[in-house]
Structure 1
Amino acid sequence: MDKVNRFSLVNPAKSPFFYGYVILVVGTLGIYFSIPGQTIGVSVFTDPVKDALGLSRNQFSNAYMIGTILSSLFIGRAGIWFDKYGARYTAFFAALTLAIALVLCSWSLKMSNLVKDILVLDSWLIPFTIMTLLFFLIRFSGQGVLTMASRNVIMIWFDKNRGKVNAFSSIAISFGFSSSPLWVNFLIEDYNWEGAWRIMALGLLVFSVVIIQFYKNRPEEHGLLPDGVGKPEKTTEVTKEEKKQYTLQEAKGTRAFWMYALMLSFNSFFITGLTFHVVSIFASEGYPKSVAISIFLPASVVAVSISTIFNYLSDYLSLKLYLFLMIVGGILASMGLMVLSSSFGIYLLIAGIGTMGGFFAVLNAIAWPRFYGRNHLGAITGKIMGLIVLASALAPSVFSLWYDTLDSYSLLGYVGLAFLTFLTIGSLKANNPQ
Structure 2
Amino acid sequence: MVSSNRFSIVNPSKSPIFYGYVVLLIGTIGIWASIPGQTIGVSVFTDPVKDALGLSRNQFSNAYMIGTIVSSLIIGRAGIWFDRYGARYVAFFAAIVLALAVLFCSWSVQISNFFKQLLNQDTWMVPFVIMTFLFFMLRFAGQGVLTMASRNMIMIWFDKNRGKVNAFSSVALSFGFSSSPLWINVLIESNGWQGAWQILAVGLLIFAFFVLQLYKNRPEEHGLVPDGVKTSKVQDADPVTETLQYTLPQAKATRAFWMYGLILAFNSFFITGLAFHVVSIFGSEGFSKDDAISIFLPGSVVAVTVSTVFNFLSDYLHLKLYLYLMIFGGLLASVGLLFLPSVIGIPFLVGGFGLMGGFFAVLNAMVWPRFFGRTHLGAITGKIMSFLILASALAPPLFSLCFSTFDSYRPLGYLGLAFLVFLGIASIKANNPQ
Whichever residue aligns with residue 25 of structure 1, its letter is L
List per-residue Cα deviations over 1:270-297 (Å, max 9, x = no partner): 0000000000000000000000000000
1:236-247 matches, within 5 Å, as 236=238, 239-240=240-241, 242-247=242-247
1:15-414 matches, within 5 Å, as 15-231=15-231, 232-236=234-238, 239-240=240-241, 242-414=242-414
Whichever residue aligns with residue 245 of structure 2, its letter is Q
In 2: Cα distance, 1:365 partner to 1:233 partner? 26
In 2: Cα distance, 1:197 partner to 1:387 partner? 28
Query: Counterpart of 1:2?
Result: 2
SS at match of 2:98: helix
Whichever residue aligns with residue 385 of structure 2, its letter is M
List per-residue Cα deviations over 1:241-282 (Å, max 9, x = no partner): x31000000000000000000000000000000000000000
In 1: Cα distance, 2:230 partner to 2:178 partner? 39
In 1: Cα distance, 2:386 partner to 2:240 partner? 30
The answer (yes or no) to whether the contact 2:329–2:355 under 8 Å persists in 1 is yes
How far residue 3 of structure 1 moved from its aligned partner, in angstroms, is 1.4
In 2: Cα distance, 1:249 partner to 1:129 partner? 35
In 2: Cα distance, 1:90 partner to 1:374 partner? 16
How far residue 333 of structure 1 moved from its aligned partner, in angstroms, is 0.2
Query: Counterpart of 2:429?
Result: 429
In 2: Cα distance, 1:343 partner to 1:204 partner? 46
* TM-score using structure 2 length: 0.99
Q: Identity over the aligned pairs, expressed in percent?
A: 71
How far residue 340 of structure 1 moved from its aligned partner, in angstroms, is 0.5
How far residue 230 of structure 1 moved from its aligned partner, in angstroms, is 4.8
In 2: Cα distance, 1:285 partner to 1:342 partner? 10
How far residue 326 of structure 1 moved from its aligned partner, in angstroms, is 0.1
Unmatched segments (≥5 aa) in structure 2: none
In 2: Cα distance, 1:90 partner to 1:275 partner? 30
SS at match of 1:245: coil
SS at match of 1:158: coil
SS at match of 1:343: coil
More deviation, 339-348/295-304: 339-348
How far residue 124 of structure 1 moved from its aligned partner, in angstroms, is 0.5
Whichever residue aligns with residue 50 of structure 2, its letter is K
Measured on the aligned residues, the alpha-carbon RMSD in Å equals 0.8
List per-residue Cα deviations over 1:110-152 (Å, max 9, x = no partner): 0111111111111000000000000000000000000000000
How far residue 54 of structure 1 moved from its aligned partner, in angstroms, is 0.3
In 1: Cα distance, 2:319 partner to 2:167 partner? 15
Whichever residue aligns with residue 36 of structure 2, its letter is P
In 2: Cα distance, 1:145 partner to 1:51 partner? 30
Whichever residue aligns with residue 387 of structure 2, its letter is L
SS at match of 1:324: helix
* TM-score using structure 1 length: 0.99
In 1: Cα distance, 2:348 partner to 2:240 partner? 44
In 1: Cα distance, 2:275 partner to 2:367 partner? 26
SS at match of 1:277: helix
In 1: Cα distance, 2:163 partner to 2:240 partner? 20
How far residue 239 of structure 1 moved from its aligned partner, in angstroms, is 3.4
In 2: Cα distance, 1:202 partner to 1:74 partner? 27
In 2: Cα distance, 1:124 partner to 1:360 partner? 38
More deviation, 118-127/227-236: 227-236
Whichever residue aligns with residue 189 of structure 1, its letter is E
The answer (yes or no) to whether the contact 2:223–2:230 under 8 Å persists in 1 is no
List per-residue Cα deviations over 1:25-47 (Å, max 9, x = no partner): 00000000000000000000000
Whichever residue aligns with residue 181 of structure 1, its letter is P
List per-residue Cα deviations over 1:376-414 (Å, max 9, x = no partner): 000000000000000000000000001000101012100
The answer (yes or no) to whether the contact 2:225–2:237 under 8 Å persists in 1 is no
The answer (yes or no) to whether the contact 2:27–2:153 under 8 Å persists in 1 is yes
Whichever residue aligns with residue 128 of structure 2, its letter is F
In 1: Cα distance, 2:219 partner to 2:316 partner? 23
